[in-house]
Amino acid sequence: LVLDVEQLGMSEVDQKKFDDVIHRPHGIFLVTGPTGSGKTTTLYTALTRIFTPKLKIITVEDPVEYQLQGICQIQVNPKRGLNFAEGLRSIVRQDPDVIMVGEIRDKETAEIAIRAALTGHLVFSTLHTNSAAGAIPRLTDMGVDPFLVSSSVNGILAQRLVRKICKQCRQEHEPTSEEKVLAKWQHIDDVKSYRGAGCEKCGGTGYRGRVGVFEFIVVTDEIRQIILEKPSASRIAKSAKVTTFREDGWEKVKKGISTIEEVLRVSEED
């Protein structure tokens, strides 16, 4: 299991934002993305990064994907009536410093998590949204009061996974017309492009391993004000000057970490 922000694929700018948000004394940090996009790994990374023996950290998960040392992890059990909302309620009664909720699926779980964040707990959780900015309308669409969202959310990280070019057989190649068009869009004159030729190590695919591409929003006072107006995701993204998946992915293409095809696969540009 990767529990290192650099290995996750975060840029230095995003690493600083990540460290800032996860070390706050209270509030909510949300990681969003589709199933299988590495959200749990990112949250486990956050928990291990802030862990000290003095901190009381409790998680409620479905399922517990990996045992973390020194952290109390509870698995939901719907058959016994232990869903996320009930699990979260029982955790809050134990007065931990940090709470991780595997996923916010409904208004009830969202409101308990927000109340915990507003009463001095640091809360980490995930949502299924396509973008970082989309997390805010998702919460208000669930019926959560915009004031509560505005008061509690500190940061939102959206992520996708792209395949990494195999280091063993990576080679520079002539950029495709598509890559040249994208380079122009990014105001880059000299575009370098890489591919994996395919070898034994990567089973002939040219790819080996995966890395994240990210969108990160740190909720500033200005964005808190905007949230009160129940804005669209695009308005939040614009105000936050978000680096999109495509822009973050493009950096990975330039460094020869991944390919343009992979980045285009995960980034539906608005």
Task: Give 23-45 as a DSSP string.
Answer: TSSSEEEEEE-STTSSHHHHHHH
Strand partners for 214: 159
User: Please, which pLDDT band fits residue 186 given cuts at 50, 70 and 90?
Assistant: low
Evaluate if residue 197 carries a pLDDT over 90.
Answer: yes
203 torsion bin: left (phi>0), alpha (psi -120 to 50), beta (else)? left
CATH number for 115 = 3.40.50.300
And the tokens for 41? Answer: 């790994």
Number of Cβ within a 10 Å radius of residue 201: 13
Strands (E), the chain: 27-32, 57-61, 72-75, 98-101, 122-127, 153-165, 170-173, 193-196, 207-218
Q: Is residue 111 included in any domain, yes or no?
A: yes
Q: What are the tens digits of pLDDT across the range 241-259? A: 999 999 999 899 889 999 9
Q: What's the confidence (pLDDT) of residue 180?
A: 74
Evaluate if residue 189 carries a pLDDT over 90.
Answer: no
- Amino acid at residue number 74: I
Q: What's the confidence (pLDDT) of residue 248?
A: 94
User: Please, which pLDDT band fits residue 270 given cuts at 50, 70 and 90?
Assistant: very low
**Those residues with Cβ within 8 angstroms of residue 74's Cβ, 6 or more apart along the chain or in another chain:** 58, 59, 60, 61, 64, 82, 87, 90, 91
CA separation for the pair 166, 159 (Å, rounded): 21
For the chain, percent of residues with pLDDT exceeding 90: 83
Inter-CA distances, 84 with 95, 100, 250, Å: 17, 11, 37
Q: Match 């995003």 to its residue by tokens.
A: 14
Q: Is residue 126 included in any domain, yes or no?
A: yes
Structural domain boundaries, residue 106: 5-160+211-240
Q: Is residue 221 included in any domain, yes or no?
A: yes
Q: Is residue 167 included in any domain, yes or no?
A: no
Q: Is residue 187 included in any domain, yes or no?
A: no
Q: Is residue 199 included in any domain, yes or no?
A: no
Q: Which among 53, 39, 236 has a CA at the least distance from the CA of 138?
A: 236
- pLDDT: which is higher, 137 or 177: 137
Q: What does the mean pLDDT of the chain come to?
A: 93
CA separation for the pair 67, 65 (Å, rounded): 7
Q: What's the confidence (pLDDT) of residue 188?
A: 61
Evaluate if residue 191 carries a pLDDT over 80.
Answer: no
Q: What's the confidence (pLDDT) of residue 187?
A: 61
Q: Is residue 235 included in any domain, yes or no?
A: yes
95 torsion bin: left (phi>0), alpha (psi -120 to 50), beta (else)? left
Contact assessment for residue 230 and residue 147, using Cβ atoms and an 8 Å cutoff: no
The Cα diameter of the chain in Å comes to: 61
CA separation for the pair 155, 51 (Å, rounded): 19
Count of structural domains, the chain: 1
User: Please, which pLDDT band fits residue 37 given cuts at 50, 70 and 90?
Assistant: very high
Evaluate if residue 134 carries a pLDDT over 50.
Answer: yes
CA separation for the pair 180, 247 (Å, rounded): 15
Inter-CA distances, 242 with 5, 75, 209, 262, Å: 19, 34, 26, 20
Average pLDDT for residues 6-31, to the nearest whole number? 96
Q: Is residue 180 included in any domain, yes or no?
A: no
